[in-house]
Amino acid sequence: MSDRAHICLNNVVLRASGNENAVSIIHGISGDIIRGAVTAIIGPSGSGKSTTLRLMNGLSEPDSGEILLSGVPYRQIPPRQLRRRVGMVFQEPTLLPGTVATNLQFPFQLLGKIPPDWADSARSWLKQVNLDPNQVWDRDVAEFSLGEKQRIALVRTLLTDPEVLLLDEPTASLDPGNTTFIINIVQRWNQEKHLTVVWVTHTLDVARQVADRVWVIRGGYLLEEGDAETVLYHPHREETRRFVNGDII
């Protein structure tokens, strides 16, 4: 494993039903997520991108192989600690019924410890995503637009100060304005806070805007990985070349 690797997948296999005779849906993926970089995971629909992200978050466990966080196998990290250190935001914001404040306090309730200054921190994060805490704090989340809900979901994930932010197509359902905002704010956090980001996207334009590095997944296999310039513009594999040129593979 590279010293620069924040998350390392080592020959990871995931089977459809978890038994050794079942069909594999992730086929021996090995690769490093580099610390402090934005890594885009791209590939055709149904290729295993989101499944790979769930493995990185510990929501799914591999049937064989191992995943490491800063060199430590996931199985040695308590689940609550892993969830705090590796945060995830989904395509559809998964907010709880209730107010913004209720949603933002929830991660601390799961961790079993609510810091005395959590509200000050939450209000500061809301300002960073252009939501006025004085106006949104006690409002029901059902009143917000999809773009606003996604920003609230981002804040909720980042409140516990994760080392790694996993994004599962967070802009796929958003309008161009909100898409640009999310891209800009995540890039800023990556640069200012040295946050490691893994961004699953089916949109090559998003990958070209955000990525320092790129993984290409097809059919549960890691076809190619490397720096974004090489993979997106001068790929080594013919299948990658066809995909980034807009062909069906």
| Any domain includes 92 | yes
Give whole-number Cα distances, 104 to 81, 115, 119, 157, 215, in Å. Answer: 18, 12, 8, 9, 32
CATH number, position 209: 3.40.50.300
Answer yes or no: is 132 within a domain.
yes
58 belongs to a structural domain: no
Asked if residue 39 lies in contact with residue 214, where contact means CB atoms within 8 angstroms, the answer is yes
- 3-state SS, one letter per residue, for the chain: CCCCEEEEEEEEEEECCCCCCCCEEEEEEEEEEECCCEEEEECCCCCCHHHHHHHHHCCCCCCEEEEEECCEEHHHCCHHHHHHHEEEECCCCCCCCCEHHHHHHHHHHHHCCCCCCHHHHHHHHHHHCCCCHHHHCCCEHHHCCHHHHHHHHHHHHHCCCCCEEEEECCCCCCCHHHHHHHHHHHHHHHHHHCCEEEEECCCHHHHHHHCCEEEEEECCEEEEEEEHHHHHHCCCCHHHHHHHCCCCC
Establish if 66 belongs to a structural domain: no
Residue 231 belongs to a domain = yes
The number of distinct structural domains making up the chain is: 1
- Calculate Rg over the CA atoms of the chain: 18
Asked, for residue 194, whether it belongs to a domain, the answer is: yes
Contact 197, 53 (CB under 8 A): no
Structural domain contains residue 19: no
Residue 41 corresponds to which amino acid?
I
pLDDT by 10s per residue, the chain, length 249: 556 899 999 999 998 875 565 566 899 999 999 999 999 999 988 889 999 999 999 999 999 999 999 999 999 999 889 988 999 999 888 899 999 999 999 988 887 888 899 999 999 999 999 999 999 999 999 999 999 999 999 999 999 889 999 999 998 888 898 889 999 999 999 998 899 999 999 889 999 999 999 999 999 999 999 999 999 999 999 999 998 887 766
User: Is residue 61 domain-resident?
Assistant: no
Domain that holds residue 159: 38-50+79-244
